[in-house]
Structure 1
């Protein structure tokens, strides 16, 4: 297996995976172990997704899980990848991530997306009948004002509404600003958020694990239209790739096929359930289902660690993201943890001891 340094800083995207036969408690224990590994091995950031009404995913509330992870990590940036902003009032999001910033100063990222993170019926329950996200840019701007406590003169929130914890609370209590705001990112799998991130001068994260064919166009759009801001002088783009590394190609394929099966179920209007590799292998596919399974299988960088890192290196040469995020896929938290460890070993990431007092 060839070893070498990573082509860009590496990060981790976590869904708190709960495949068939795995409880939420087991999935969340797996997330803690994965975050601890990422902290020890020099990964840059660890993000948690927001999904709802999906049996295979336990991360319905990223802020709650991130609060736990602040006590299990020391240097790793922690964040949401992301908060689906139309599901939440901006004030609530500002307060949740301001609280996290107070718990782990200058280690919190706040990634913002506009998709519901679920199916239409669940989205209706989340959004109480609001069916569109046309005001997403306005929601983002409102959230930024809450985080900075800088609503303009005459705005109804300027004098009386504060995100707590936050700079408004510090000002009222007569103390210096205790920390900067969380690092705000825009997330997307198309050109929409790329354009908005460029206009607002924010870092941009592209979900290539959902939309691998549109990476180059989205990053080019973001970089070409980027306007410097107070928080970012030059464009900064992260790309997440679906990966599964195992000790041999066969096991990597078995794990990947479980993920592909769950995506096929979701596309056919069924629940997002991740079957065991044996269940996925024995499923009697129709010709149409096999095409969907093959497409999602091919979208995952799977194989031995050397094969996975070689493909990551090639993809980086084309899109040139500033950072690579590993969205590990498979059936069990143990498989995802092992995959991440194997990729870290393949790139010779250093192992850094974590003080026992953090656990």
Structure 2
């Protein structure tokens, strides 16, 4: 079994390569098809030597089917044998720490030594949906715009306390006299010697970077939607780092939006679908991922075109060799210890082809796990 944090470099990649999956749902397609694609991506990633396959928690987004990472990860575990599976991430403020400990203890029991627990402090959605997720933050009818809604947007200030509680449940080590001392997360240590998922902190700013460093935890940064903050956050993480029982040195992973295709023009055409989808989300019009034809025909205003061009400026796309060059340059500039690639496009076949092409560009080995056909 490989190191649960530090990946193994394969082929000619400068650092381990992994997959971040949003389980995107394209226009004219279904959630069932999107989830089937995720299974195929996981099998392909395992076959080609990618290190991890993480699933991100999002809510109330029609173009994303990953609202329940633990459920999806259990399904992926049943269809794979070796690749590490994890959350990128579970949004801790949305859940009771005990529930997360139980869910990921179950996953660890299902796939021993293969599960990562990545945690974020953002809601993974808009303020109203965040309030609906949390019973203590429930909105009254007509309360939109109220102080309660504003507070739901700012949740996460007690994140360190929630994190400490979750880790206590995972380790089953609340001290005597603590109100939770007799509560056990099961499956878990109370049932006998067993491993437990390594905890990662996720972030898109400096808060989690510093906290991960102080706690000596591995850190994953969302470069794919917060590129300007990447280097400052990684510097803060490394400067704040204190060795721990988990790590003796910093380990930083970054999420990267990248898509390879057989031609640069077609790659551009495909990534435009993700850019239009993000534009709609940012302007309060979330929907299914548009088709390439819909994205090409869309009449962008000047402001919308500026947003899209800026967004695509942080998406590495083109031929496999062009994508490899872009990934290598990004890794060198940031010093990332691992690159986690997310391929956002309308079609599952396009995403699968991209991961295959990137694997080919780096000379990743082609293993013995067969790739099933998409339904």
When normalised by structure 2's length, the TM-score is 0.90
Please, which of 299, 303, 319 is the counterpart of residue 314 of structure 2?
299
Cα separation, 1, equivalents of 2:368 and 2:180: 46
Aligned to 1:173: none
Which residue of structure 2 aligns with residue 165 of structure 1? Answer: 187
1:56 aligns with 2:42: no
Q: Which of 282, 292, 297 is equivalent to 2:297?
A: 282
1:28-49 deviations in whole A, cap 9, x for unaligned?
1100000000111111111001
Work out the number of aligned pairs and report it.
345
CA distance in 1, matches of 2:346, 2:313: 17
Residues 65-80 of structure 1: pairs in structure 2 closer than 5 A: 65-80=72-87
| Native 8 Å contact 2:20 2:55 kept in 1 | yes
2:215 corresponds to 1:203: no
Q: Which position in structure 2 is the counterpart of 1:222?
A: 237
1:20 aligns with one of 10, 22, 27: 27
1:92 aligns with 2:115: no
- Between the aligned partners of 2:278 and 2:287, the Cα distance in structure 1 is 7
Aligned partner of 1:341 in structure 2 is 356
Aligned twin of 2:133 = 126
Instruction: Evaluate the alpha carbon distance shift between residue 355 and residue 299 of structure 1 in structure 2; reply closer, same or farther with a 3 A threshold.
Output: closer
Match of 1:151 among 168, 174, 180: 174
Corresponding residue number in structure 1 for 2:158? 135
The Cα of 1:294 is off from its aligned counterpart by: 1.0
CA distance in 2, matches of 1:248, 1:354: 28
CA contact (8 A) 1:5 1:347 kept: yes
Instruction: Return the TM-score normalized by structure 1.
Output: 0.94
Displacement of 1:133: 1.8
Which residue of the other structure, out of 304, 318, 323, is the alignment partner of 1:308? 323
Cα distance, 1:229 vs structure 2: 1.2
Counterpart check, 1:265 vs 2:280: yes
Q: Which has the larger displacement, 106-115 or 208-217?
A: 208-217
The answer to whether residue 30 in structure 2 is matched with residue 36 in structure 1 is no
Instruction: Name the structure 2 match of 1:250.
Output: 265
Aligned 8 A contact 2:47 2:370 in 1: no
Query: Is there any run of 5+ residues in structure 2 with no aligned partner, and where?
Result: 1-10, 138-151
Write the distance in 2 (CA, Å) between the matches of 1:89 and 1:64.
Answer: 17
In the TM superposition, what is the alpha-carbon distance from 1:272 to its structure 2 partner?
4.3
Query: What is the Cα deviation at residue 15 of structure 1?
Result: 0.9
Evaluate the alpha carbon distance shift between residue 266 and residue 355 of structure 1 in structure 2; reply closer, same or farther with a 3 A threshold.
Answer: closer
- 8 Å Cα contact 1:265/1:273 also seen in 2: no
Offset at 1:355? 8.0
Q: Partners of 2:78 and 2:198 in 1: how far apart? A: 20
The whole-number CA distance in structure 1 between the counterparts of 2:179 and 2:49 is: 44
Asked if residue 237 in structure 1 is aligned to residue 252 in structure 2, the reply is yes
Q: Decide whether the 8 Å contact of 2:270 with 2:346 is kept in 1.
A: yes
Alignment check: 8 A CA contact 1:306 1:346 kept: yes
CA distance in 2, matches of 1:81, 1:100: 15
- Aligned CA distance change for structure 1 residues 91 and 129 (closer, same or farther; 3 Å): closer
Deviation at 1:230, TM superposition (A): 1.3
What secondary structure does 1:326 align onto?
strand
Q: Retained in 2: the 8 A contact 1:10–1:323?
A: yes
Q: Displacement, 1:128?
A: 3.2
Deviation at 1:153, TM superposition (A): 2.6
- Please, which runs of 5 or more residues in structure 1 have no aligned partner? 171-175
The 4+ residue runs of structure 1 with deviation greater than 3 A are: none
- Deviation (angstroms), 1:98: 0.3
Deviations 1:323-353 (A, max 9, x none): 1100111112111111111000110100110
